[in-house]
Amino acid sequence: MNRSYRPRYGVPARSPRQKEKQFEKLRATELYCPKCGRATPVRERLLLVLPEGDKYEYLCVYCGTSLGDKIERGEPKQLVVL
Ligand SMILES: [Zn+2]
């Protein structure tokens, strides 16, 4: 008896708190960049998905230096400015 319809991936590890906002957000945030020597616009990049929230990193749009990060839990209401 050959069962070829066995699922290969076990239980789908889906968190009940799964978010559907994977799109990149545009923000008018500016942070001070030590390399550029002034406040620059930043790019927000999703770095990690943690149990307590999504961790984002802020990168200078000009030189790519990491200027900070934040953890976004649920609603996008908290913003860490260094
Ligand atoms: Zn910079």
Q: Is the pLDDT of residue 28 over 80?
A: no
CA of 70 to the centre of ligand 1 (A): 18
pLDDT of 27 reads 52
Q: Is the pLDDT of residue 22 over 70?
A: no
- Chain-centroid distance of CA 60 in Å reads 15
Per-residue confidence band for 31, with pLDDT thresholds at 50, 70 and 90: very high
| Segments making up each domain of the chain, as ranges | 32-72
CA of 18 to the centre of ligand 1 (A): 33
Q: What is the mean pLDDT of residues 48-65?
A: 93
DSSP strands (E only) in the chain: 30-33, 38-50, 53-60, 66-72
CA of 58 to the centre of ligand 1 (A): 11
Residue among 55, 32, 29 at smallest CA distance from 43: 29
Q: Is the pLDDT of residue 56 over 80?
A: yes
Tracing tokens 């930043």 back to the chain, one arrives at: 42
pTM over 0.75: no
